[in-house]
């Protein structure tokens, strides 16, 4: 039997993460765009995965993008939809996004705040109207965003380390 520091069955397994998803300290929310933030929950550098809450306090287009891998989402509060579909994901909805699908995330006018849990593996590729890449995010850019923000707001750049696996 292995003796481990993290309580797992194997000494190479990463330690568990148990955090309050909705932080009491507003500084934990990392700004991503105007009135758009994410709250990291887990940043897995081994497989390029991240789990986070996305919080939006504005209506309109958030981004046009695709993912090369499937994405899972769960709406905690508010609602959103994709221009390319006829459904609306509102509080309590689960959303599965198949790999490679291009979609444009929208928050409707009557939604003051949207919070959704996302589980993403791989990357998020931002596209213009002609489907040309104009940017991307992955677990490493997310970590960099967190480090810069946490350093700036006084939590310390290493605050993000608790979420990195």
Q: What is the pLDDT of residues 149-160, one digit of tens each?
A: 999 999 999 999
Region 81-106 average pLDDT: 97
Write down the pLDDT at residue 4. 57
For 26-163, the fitting CATH number among 3.10.20.30, 3.40.190.10, 3.40.50.880, 2.60.120.10 is 2.60.120.10
User: How much is the pLDDT for 1?
Assistant: 47
Q: With 60 as the cut, is the pLDDT of residue 137 above it?
A: yes
Looking at every residue in the chain, the average pLDDT score rounds to: 94
The tokens for 158 are 């290493």
Show me where the domains of the chain are located: 26-163
The burial of 1, by beta-carbon neighbours within 10 Å (0-12 exposed, 13-18 middle, 19 or more buried), is given as: exposed
State mean pLDDT over 8-21: 81
Residue 99: predicted pLDDT: 97
b/e 127-146 (16+ beta carbons within 10 angstroms → b): beeeeeeeeebbbeebbebb
pLDDT at 71 over 80: yes
């Amino acid at each position: 039997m292995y003796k481990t520091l993290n309580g797992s069955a194997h000494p190479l397994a990463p330690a568990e993460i148990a955090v309050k998803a909705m932080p009491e300290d507003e500084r934990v929310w990392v700004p991503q765009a105007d009135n758009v933030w994410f709250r990291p929950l887990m940043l897995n550098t081994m497989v390029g995965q991240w789990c986070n809450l996305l919080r939006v306090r504005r209506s309109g287009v958030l981004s046009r993008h695709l993912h090369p891998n499937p994405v899972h989402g769960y709406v905690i509060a508010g609602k959103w939809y994709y221009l390319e579909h006829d459904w609306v994901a509102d509080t309590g909805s689960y959303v599965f996004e198949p790999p490679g699908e291009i979609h444009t995330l929208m928050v409707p006018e009557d939604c003051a705040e949207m919070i959704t849990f996302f589980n993403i593996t791989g990357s998020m590729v931002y596209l213009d109207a002609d489907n040309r890449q104009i940017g991307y995010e992955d677990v490493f850019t997310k970590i960099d965003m967190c480090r810069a923000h946490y350093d700036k707001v006084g939590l310390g750049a290493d605050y993000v380390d608790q979420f990195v696996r």
